[in-house]
Structure 1
Amino acid sequence: MDDGVRKFMQDTNDAFPAVEKMSAAEARAFLAGRRLAVTNLGDVASADDRSIPGPGGDLTVRIYQPHGPRGGRPAVVFAHGGGFVLCDIDSHDGFCRAMARYTESVVVSVDYRLAPEHRAPAAAEDMFAAWCWLAEHADEVGVDPSRMLTAGDSAGGNLAAVTAIMCREHGTPAPAGQVLIYPAIEPFFDTESYRKYSTGYVNTRDAMQYYWREYLNDKMPSPEWLVAPARAESHRDLPPAIVVTAGFDVLQTEGVSYAWRLRKANVPVVHRDYPGLFHGFLTMMNFGAGAAARELLWSDMRRLLCVEEKATA
C-alpha cells in the first residue's frame, strides 16, 4: 500500500465510529455531522427530488440530468452503500453528480428504506420499484429504456445485483448491465478477506455483522437470493457486469467469487480489482487515489451504455 494511501486509510479508519456499539439513529447522526460539502454541484444541469410509488409508500428518488440536450439519454438506477442501515441520497450526491457528468447519463439515486426500521427485503423491493418506475416513465424523464444500468456500492452493490435477478425472475425489461462496486454479497463472515482484514481497514467484520443483523433480524427471506444474490439457482441470462473490488476489504473475497459465478454462467464480466486500496475508496470524492479508478469506471460504464468515449478530465 502506498504511504499516502495508508495514511488516508488510517485517518479514515480512526475517525469512523464503531457502529456496532451505536443505535442506527446515533450512527446516522454522527456520519451526517461529518459529511463533507459537495464541491461538484455544476457537474449536472439539474438534480431534482421526486416522490414515486413504492411498495412501502412514497419513495424518494433524486434525478440527475446531465448537461446537453435532453431525451434519449442512457440511465443509471443507483443504490447508495451504508450497510442497509446508514447513508442516504445526500451522502452519495457528489458521486452521483460525477457519474451523470462522465457517463452522460441520467442518474436516478434511490432513497430506499433502511434497516432496522425496515427489514429485508424492503431495500431490494424499493430498488426494484424504482427500476420499474423509470422503465415505465422513460420518455417523461428523457431516458432510452434500452440503455439503463443498475448500480450501487457496498450494500447498494447487493441491491443492484438483486435487482438484476428480480428483473429476470419477473420478466421485467433487463438492465443493459449491472455495476457492483465492492458489493456485499453474502451474510457470511469467514472468508479469506474477512480473516485478513477484519479490523483496521475502515470496514470491519464487527460492522458487517451488525449491518446484516439489522437488515435480516436473523431471518432469511424466501427466496434467499433476495438478500444473497450468490444463492440464486442460476446466474444465466443476467446482464453484463462491472465488478469493482478492493484488496484491503473484508468484502473482497465475496466480490471476486460473485464475478467468478457470473462468468461461469456465461455472463460477460469486467472485474477491476484494486489490491492496494480499501473499502469505500471509489465514492470518497476527496481521495485523490480514487480518481483514476473512477475514470476507468466511467469508461467501462460508457461502453455498456454505448456512449461515445471522451476524455474525462
Structure 2
Amino acid sequence: MTLNPKFENLLKTDFESLYSLGIEKLREYYSKSWDDFKGIPEEVGSVVNRVVKTSIRDTPIRVYYPKTTGIYPALIFIHGGGFVLGNIDVYDPICRKITNNVNCAVISIDYGLAPEHKFPKPMEECYQVTKWVFENADELHVNPDTIAIGGDSVGGTLSAVISQLSRDKGEFSLVYQVIINAILELDGQTPSRIENGEGYRLTTKGIAWFNQQHLNDISEAKSPLASPLLADNFADLPPACIITSEYDPLRDEGENYAERLSAAGVNVCLKRYDGIIHGFFNMQSTLEEARDALALVCTKLREAFNQ
C-alpha cells in the first residue's frame, strides 16, 4: 500500500539532523513534537503521581484511575523514545483513553533515560516497578490477578523482556502484554530495516544512534534482556497483542516475534497497519489508524481482564 498522505508534511523534517542537537535539546524537541498529534487529555476519575524506590533510582510513576469505584484491573504502561527520549507526559492522553475505555487503572513508568541510564538499568528499573505494583496492589486498589503490561516502541521492548522475566523468575504473573512498533532485536538485520531504512521518520542510522546511547557496547544487543527476540524459550508467556506498521524498519521483528510466540502456543493477536510509519500509535488526533489501534488494544485488554 502507498504511504498515507497524512505523513507528507511530517516527513519533510530531516530527522537524522536532529541527533546533532545534543541530548537535552533533542529531548525538548521530541516532547513538543507530539503536541499536534497526541490529542487533548480526557478527564479520568483521578490521577496520582508517586515515586517508587528502586535499586536504580527513585522512579516517578503516574497512576490513572477510572471514574468508577472498586478494585481495578491494571495496565502497566511503558513509554517509547528509543531509551533516550520521552516521558510520561508524552503518553498522558493515551493512558487516559485506556483508563476510560477499559475501566482499568493505568500505571505509567517514567524510567531513567540513556545515556545517563544505560542498559540494563531501564529494564531493571521497570521490572522492579512492576514487582512493586504487585506487592502493593491493595494500596493501589488493583487486582493482582489482572495486571497486564504494554508499551510503544522501546516501551514494547521492555514489556516483552519483563514478560519473559516474569515467567523465568516467578515473582509475579502478568495476564497480557501489548507490544506496539517495538524493537525486538536491537542490532537486527531484517528486510524491513533495509526497505524502510530511510525517509520514514525512524531510520537505520537513527536506530544505530539510539543503540549507541543505550548500550555500553554493541555486543550487549545479543542479550535477550536487550533483544527479547533472541530468547531461547517463548512458551508460557502472557497472551499478546502485537502491532506493526508497513513503513516501519522494525516491522519484521515485531511480526517475527508474533510467529515465535504463536509457534510456542501463546495466543497472539497480530495486526499490521498498511501505509503507516513508526510512532503512529500516539497520533490519536490525526490518524484514524491510531484510533483503530487503540480500540484494538482496549478490546484485547478487556478480554484479558474478564477471563
TM-score, length-scaled by structure 1: 0.91
Map of 1:11 onto structure 2: 9
Structure 1: distance between partners of 2:39 and 2:295: 18
Map of 1:310 onto structure 2: none
Structure 1: distance between partners of 2:279 and 2:32: 18
Contact 1:40 1:97 in 2 (8 A): no
1:276 CA drift (Å):
2.1
Map of 2:67 onto structure 1: 67
1:261 CA drift (Å):
0.8
1:169 CA drift (Å):
1.7
Map of 2:241 onto structure 1: 242
Contact 1:44 1:101 in 2 (8 A): yes
Structure 2: distance between partners of 1:84 and 1:39: 23
Contact 1:9 1:202 in 2 (8 A): no
Map of 2:79 onto structure 1: 80
Structure 2: distance between partners of 1:30 and 1:11: 17
Counterparts in 2 of 1:30-179, with a 5 A limit? 30-36=29-35, 40-69=40-69, 71-179=70-178
1:300 CA drift (Å):
1.6
The secondary structure found in structure 2 opposite 1:266 is coil
Structure 2: distance between partners of 1:223 and 1:212: 12
Structure 1: distance between partners of 2:89 and 2:14: 18
Counterpart of 1:47, as a letter, is V
Is 1:226–2:225 an aligned residue pair? yes
Structure 2: distance between partners of 1:153 and 1:222: 19
Map of 2:300 onto structure 1: 300
Closer/same/farther in 2, CA of residues 235 and 97 from structure 1, 3 Å limit: same
Map of 1:311 onto structure 2: none
Q: Deviations over 1:5-32 (max 9, x none)?
A: 32x2122222363243332222102223
Structure 2: distance between partners of 1:16 and 1:91: 21
Q: Deviations over 1:29-49 (max 9, x none)?
A: 222343417754333111221
Q: Deviations over 1:119-140 (max 9, x none)?
A: 1011111111111111011111
| More divergent stretch after superposition (52-61 vs 186-195) | 186-195
Structure 2: distance between partners of 1:236 and 1:16: 42
Map of 1:20 onto structure 2: 19
Structure 2: distance between partners of 1:222 and 1:181: 20
Contact 1:162 1:229 in 2 (8 A): yes
Matched-pair identity in %: 31
Q: Deviations over 1:214-256 (max 9, x none)?
A: 1113244598111111121211111111100011100000000
The secondary structure found in structure 2 opposite 1:114 is coil
Structure 2: distance between partners of 1:271 and 1:16: 31
Map of 2:205 onto structure 1: 206
Counterpart of 1:41, as a letter, is P
Structure 2: distance between partners of 1:32 and 1:241: 28
Counterpart of 1:136, as a letter, is E
Map of 2:28 onto structure 1: 29
Counterpart of 1:202, as a letter, is R
Counterpart of 2:118, as a letter, is R
| More divergent stretch after superposition (53-62 vs 16-25) | 16-25
Closer/same/farther in 2, CA of residues 220 and 138 from structure 1, 3 Å limit: farther
Contact 1:20 1:206 in 2 (8 A): no
Runs of 5+ unmatched residues, structure 2: none
Structure 2: distance between partners of 1:283 and 1:178: 18
Contact 1:115 1:214 in 2 (8 A): yes
Q: Deviations over 1:175-233 (max 9, x none)?
A: 00110011110122531111111111121111111111111132445981111111212
Structure 2: distance between partners of 1:142 and 1:79: 20
Q: Deviations over 1:115-161 (max 9, x none)?
A: 11111011111111111111011111111111110101101000000
Closer/same/farther in 2, CA of residues 74 and 220 from structure 1, 3 Å limit: farther
Closer/same/farther in 2, CA of residues 20 and 45 from structure 1, 3 Å limit: same
Counterpart of 2:9, as a letter, is D
Structure 1: distance between partners of 2:293 and 2:57: 37
